[in-house]
Amino acid sequence: MRSILINHKIGLKWLRKYILFILILFAVDYSISYFLTEGLKKYYGFNTQPEILLIGHSHTMLGLNKNMIEAGLHCKVAKYAIEGVNVLDRLTMVNHFLHQKGNSVKIITYDVDAFFLTRGGLSKNSYQLFYPFMDDKYINEYIKLENKNKYEYLVKKFIKTSRFTDLNLNGSLRGYLRFYSNIKIGVIDTVAYKKKIENNDFAKITFDSDLQAKFEETLKIIQNAHITLVLVLIPTIDILNRMEPEKYEKAISLLEEYSRNNKNVYFINYNVEYANQHELFYDPIHLNPKGSKVITERLIKDLRKIFVISKE
């Protein structure tokens, strides 16, 4: 009997240690996750009350300089841009940002191009990029809708550090360092790219009706919030733009139509002036630091005009 009691006490002792160990793990997991998430919030501007919100994917990440816009327009700017996000992702991003406490956004820039209604590519599993913010109800609902792997969802829900990828970690570090610059240094090799074109190795333009519906839903949400929307076509190289001319013109016409038919929606097409300036490009669809500076300076001038119009 005595040996049973001793064994029972030993068992309870180890159980307490095991529970304490689990609690410590969860505390460490929560603390690290909190630190990394706060860095991301700083990077995307959730800790500010911006007048201008830059929404987009890698075109905005590399093409628009947040600090330059703040200095040029003398207002706070948030840059919520994530590589590979599609129209559906960005609808979620708009909801996520605009429902933050103390929202002060007056103008949203939203990067577009001839591929804005094209599905696939990097955006296939892009919902995974939002795991760090899955405690937000809009993000959580979106992830539950997109993620078919319920086990993965539960792991991310309870083990918070598992939500982070190299991309998230990089963004968090940039947030703490307040580093927003484009570091894609170099100029596109047009000769090599033309050879790829000859081998039919280039992105194809498609028009997905579901994405178009989500894009139009995004327009309505922004309009209902009484926010001015600026659709910005950050340049893509002319070599690519010429490959499917009819589809390209259809995409541009759609964007022009959205601008004409919707109040407080503007479309700025920088391809017209800059697509043939190859020295501005890192690759066919992304700008290098020189290109980013040129386009940001031009956007500042155009936004200054829009600011005046929006206040009339």
Q: What confidence tier does 124 reach under pLDDT thresholds 50, 70, 90? A: low
What is the H or E stretch that residue 268 is in?
strand 265-269
Burial 293-311 (b: 16+ CB within 10 A, else e): bbbbeebbeebeebbeeee
Angle at the Cα of 60 from the Cα atoms of 54 and 61, rounded to 5 degrees: 105
DSSP annotation of 101? T
Q: Which of 128, 136, 140 is nearest to 167 (CA)?
A: 128
| Tens of pLDDT, residues 101-116 | 778 899 999 999 999 9
pLDDT of residue 15: 67
- The rounded mean pLDDT for the chain is 89
CATH architecture under which domain 2-311 falls: 3-Layer(aba) Sandwich (3.40)
pLDDT of residue 123: 59
Within 10 angstroms of residue 160's Cβ, the number of other Cβ atoms is 21
Contacts of 93 (CB under 8 A, 6+ apart): 55, 80, 82, 85
248 vs 182, more confident = 248
| Tens of pLDDT, residues 141-182 | 999 988 888 889 999 999 999 999 888 899 999 999 888 877
| C-alpha span between 146 and 154 (Å, rounded) | 14
Residue 38 predicted with pLDDT over 80: yes
Q: Which of 233, 235, 236 is nearest to 203 (CA)?
A: 236
pLDDT of residue 125: 79
Lowest-confidence pick of 9-23, 82-96, 164-178, 285-299: 9-23
Q: Where are the domains of the chain?
A: 2-311
